Chain A
Amino acid sequence: MDDAIDTALEPCAGAAATTAPSDFDIRDYLRTELLPHFMCPGCGHGIALRALLWAVHELGIAKDRLAVVTGIGCSGRTGAYIDANTFHTTHGRPLAFATGLALARPDLEVVVITGDGDCLAIGGNHLIHACRRNLDMTCLMLNNEIYGMTGGQVSPTTGADRLTTTTPSGNTEPVFDACALAAAAGAGLVGRGMTLQTPALKNLIRDAIAHRGFSFVEVISDCTEIFGRKNDLGSSPEMILRQKSAMRPEFYGNVVDQPFRPNAMKTGILARTDRPEYGDAYRAATAAAGASR
């Protein structure tokens, strides 16, 4: 087991960090007085949080200028630990809150953290319209294939035949390919990353934040305590390794020159378009009205 983990953690293509991990101390970006955090041991959400803050560090974004808007779920609780302007909103609606915040305050760097249930079930409509509008913000969807916070019910991303508390005989619903959805709806940048390769994930999030427009990043996370336990998937490292064999983590590529092809296994930047950003377009279109004031 240990050997396998070591191999898996070798850097993959595109994962080269522009800052050495040692240059980044996550505690500089956390409300350390709130620690220990609430997450279960082995939960992938913590690694996603680390990748986000590392990306923020590399981009040199001042904490005072960072606004993190989260929904409700274990994913939504991660925001409270970030030493920034943090907003824990209602279930499924963080993109709606963030739209108001980003449009009213274009000077802030707005990042949304949401879960697969939060984003794709109750919040699905907000996701497609946020992609379509292309307002400048970054949405991280932490996909752990389940509703963690409410105790393990089926989610739009739960795999076929998986056991959850509301699919005791195995899941019969097809899953969403969230990236395909986001790309089809017109998101400026679409990418998928895994917690297994934190540097690659960090790079992806960095590029997503730097992109001017709406960026959607699906983070393949793991809910060890509930999803893993219920489906006999072993400990957290075992779950993550299984993800590696299912995904193509070697791919951190630039597909800007290729049309987006839905493939739930691919990681990296899957689509990028340089459409006009919503706020810019709105301000340009209404500038004449403003001039007459």
Chain B
Amino acid sequence: MPASTQTNGLRQNLQGNHACAVAAIAAGCRFYAGYPITPSSEVAERMAVELPKVGGAFIQMEDEIASMGAVIGASMGGVKAMTATSGPGFSLKQENLGYAAMVEAPCVVINVMRGGPSTGMPTRPSQGDLMQARWGTHGDHPIVVLTPASVAEAYRQTIRAFNLSERLRTPVIVLLDEVIAHLVETVDIARADPMQRVDRTWASEPPETFRPYAASADGVPAMPRPGDGYRSHTTGLTHGPSGFPTQKPAEVTAAMTRLLGKIDRHRDIVDSVETTGCEDAEVLVVAVGIVARAARRAVDQAQERGIRAGLFRPITLWPFPEAQFRQLDDRVRAILVPEMNAGQLCLEVERLSGRRTRIGRINRIDGEPIDPDAILSAIEELARHG
């Protein structure tokens, strides 16, 4: 299949999946390992074309476990690396995702959600992996998850994923709806590109005194590059500042506290939300991805009908923008959570919301997107009774 690309200066018509690939190259990604799965395969196909042009390497591995391993291997070697997958493949990556979080290997995983569980509905949209993205691997672990709502945003958020990943030395997941992955929209690369490209901080102190996991002022240690003289040890076993395993409770606590806290320490660059009409909203819609686009339209229509409605769209889904949400929650009378699953985002909203706020839901689990009309009627209903 030819790439659905039409070059027109720096504006391009791109499919969402291709936008992720092109953005990865712009962000400095030079290694891709993956295994084909609908609806994400076009990311791999485009990377296979683009990487050789910039001296990078593409490899189709034997499965998703191997792909995630190879991506981490390349990252530990000092090269920015990415993989892309969908539900079942994402599940297979989870053990190694935990490893990446533990050894603090920067890497980006695109997960184009499809219906599940199991092989589910490969070509139908779903938002069933919101919680898998947060909690899929075992153990308490830090993670950053971004949820674009358009092709242009898939481009921008993929670049941002690399930047956050390098800055915080953590895996970053880009959660895409199938609708956006296969939608063709115009991406203004000229506007997106000037985003600063962030590279991890390389270890530079004398090897004799270097401790690979020393707690630096900002919680993110400098990374040793093989060949630079550090000869450090990397292990998924719980390790202290030296990088070697420890089971001493005090050392384990310190190491895990730093690991779990490092993203929170940088909420200023991690958090991102889009809010529309929230200043005086009585009914707040909380939605992500393609559903948020339908919600934006519904909110506009509700306002035209005199209902004070607002949209709260976490672009960074995890960590959830709690502070921004709580501010609004204190003011609104009702919240509506439309999502293409049986109620995953709603769990987080319920956790954070005050008891007096009424919470309505729309859950579509039939492989069809939620349309603006359904959201509009639910807003009207909540405005009447909320």
Contact = CB atoms under 8 A, between A and B. Distances in A.
B59 to A, nearest CB: 6
Given A86-B234, A89-B236, A96-B61, A107 B70 contact: no
A70 to B, nearest CB: 9
A126 to B, nearest CB: 6
Contacts of A85: 226-227, 230-232
Contacts of A67: 77, 226
B266 interface: no
Contacts of B55: 290, 293
B71 interface: yes
B187 interface: no
B77 A108 contact: yes
Interface in B157-173: none
A8 interface: no
Contacts of A129: 61-62, 66
Contact of A64 (B53, B66, B95, B231): B231
Interface residues of B, number: 46
Interface in B194-209: none
Contacts of A293: 53-55
B264 interface: no
Interface in B66-110: 66-79, 81, 95-96, 99
Contacts, number: 141
A289 B52 contact: yes
B352 to A, nearest CB: 34
Nearest to B103: A87
Contacts of A65: 227
B74 to A, nearest CB: 4
B280 interface: no
Interface in A73-112: 79-80, 83-90, 93, 95-105, 107-108
A89 B232 CA distance: 14
Interface in A267-291: 279, 282, 286-287, 289-290
Interface string A53-68: 0000000000111010
Contacts of B226: 64, 67, 85, 101, 105, 108
A79 to B, nearest CB: 8
Given A125-B62, A289-B52, A88 B237 contact: yes
Nearest to A81: B233
Contacts of A290: 52-55
Contacts of A86: 231-234
Nearest to B245: A80
A183 interface: no
Contacts of A102: 73
A34 interface: yes
A90 B97 CA distance: 11
A96 B99 contact: no
A217 interface: no
Interface residues of A, number: 42
Nearest to A92: B65
B234 A104 contact: no
Nearest to B228: A64
Contact of A105 (B71, B227, B235): B227
B70 A100 contact: yes
A101 B233 contact: no
B244 interface: yes
B96 A90 contact: yes
Contacts of A96: 61, 65-70, 73
Interface string B236-271: 110000001100000000000000000000000000
Contact of A103 (B70, B75, B99, B244): B70
Nearest to B59: A103
Given A101-B76, A293-B53, A293-B54, A89 B69 contact: yes
B57 interface: yes
B82 to A, nearest CB: 11
Nearest 6 CB-CB pairings of A with B: A100-B73, A96-B69, A100-B70, A286-B52, A104-B74, A289-B52
Interface of B: 30-31, 33, 49, 52-55, 57, 59, 61-63, 65-79, 81, 95-96, 99, 226-237, 244-245
19 contacts: A65-B227, A69-B73, A84-B231, A86-B234, A87-B76, A89-B72, A90-B236, A96-B66, A98-B73, A99-B69, A100-B59, A101-B77, A103-B57, A104-B74, A105-B74, A108-B227, A279-B57, A293-B54, A293-B55
Given A86-B233, A100-B73, 6 more contacts: A86-B231, A86-B232, A103-B70, A104-B78, A105-B77, A105-B227
Interface of A: 31, 34, 63-65, 67, 69, 79-80, 83-90, 93, 95-105, 107-108, 125-126, 129, 279, 282, 286-287, 289-290, 292-293
